[in-house]
């Protein structure tokens, strides 16, 4: 079932972009104000990847989390570079809130991050943070879109959030996307730019 989210790719009016510019390698934490296609014309472009990725974790003791991630990659009409989007749905039967969505293994390059005010969903990430951590035995860059006010509850859909890359192509491999709940980490495979640190899922 498709998530009821829409990423608009209409013609836009030129205006200063309001996005968090993430440094290439240093750790960081920035608030995310939200943006529309009318505020940043580079957001418009054709969709080149559009997938629904289901996830589920049932460790027992009445704790179950399931849902879907809609992953889209858009090729910017402005410069031809790829923008990576994610929208998260937490199923009605989930017993925990989703606190954050992490992107693990993107190349050590600068990115712009934000969320779309002109799409669907109701819960926007409040901040984006970056750290370096050991994942699967390797040191990896972790970029986390963090939800406020408890997180994404059952039967809620997030706003679509994104990373704007400076790459015009997509890597053939995949990296980890990680759904972080109150007590669980749930990993999925997501598309990535060239040069990504490919880490197989367990």
pLDDT band at residue 202 under the 50/70/90 scheme: low
- Kindly report the backbone phi and psi dihedral angles of residue 42, in degrees, each rounded to the nearest multiple of 5, phi listed first: -70, -10
User: What is the pLDDT averaged over residues 139-153?
Assistant: 91
| CB contact burial 96-119 (16+ within 10 A = b; e otherwise) | bbbbbbbbbbbbeeebbbbbbbbb
Instruction: Kindly calculate the radius of gyration of the chain based on its CA atoms and give it in whole angstroms.
Output: 16
pLDDT digits (tens, 9 = 90+) for 37-77: 999 989 999 999 999 999 999 988 888 999 999 999 999 99
Beta bridge partner(s), residue 138: 135
Q: What is the CATH number of domain 25-191?
A: 2.60.40
pTM score = 0.87
The domain spans of the chain are 25-191
Average pLDDT, the chain: 85
């Amino acid at each position: 079932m498709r998530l009821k989210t829409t990423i608009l790719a209409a013609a836009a009016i030129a205006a200063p972009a309001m996005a968090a510019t993430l440094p290439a390698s240093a750790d960081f934490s920035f608030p995310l104000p939200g943006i529309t296609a009318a505020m940043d014309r580079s957001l418009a472009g054709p969709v080149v990847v559009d997938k629904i990725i289901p996830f589920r974790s049932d460790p027992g003791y009445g704790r179950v989390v399931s849902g879907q991630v809609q992953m889209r990659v858009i090729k910017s009409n402005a410069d031809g570079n790829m923008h990576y989007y994610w929208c998260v749905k937490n199923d009605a039967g989930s017993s925990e809130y989703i606190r954050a969505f992490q992107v693990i293994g993107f190349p050590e390059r600068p990115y712009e991050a934000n969320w779309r005010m002109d799409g669907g969903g109701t819960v926007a990430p409040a901040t984006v943070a970056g750290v370096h951590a050991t994942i699967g035995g390797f040191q990896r860059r972790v970029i986390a879109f963090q939800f406020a006010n408890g997180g994404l509850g059952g039967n809620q859909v997030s706003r679509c959030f994104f990373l704007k890359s400076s790459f015009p192509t997509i890597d053939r491999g995949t990296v980890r996307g990680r759904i972080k709940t109150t007590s669980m980490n749930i990993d999925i495979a997501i598309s990535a730019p060239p040069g990504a640190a490919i880490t197989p899922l367990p």
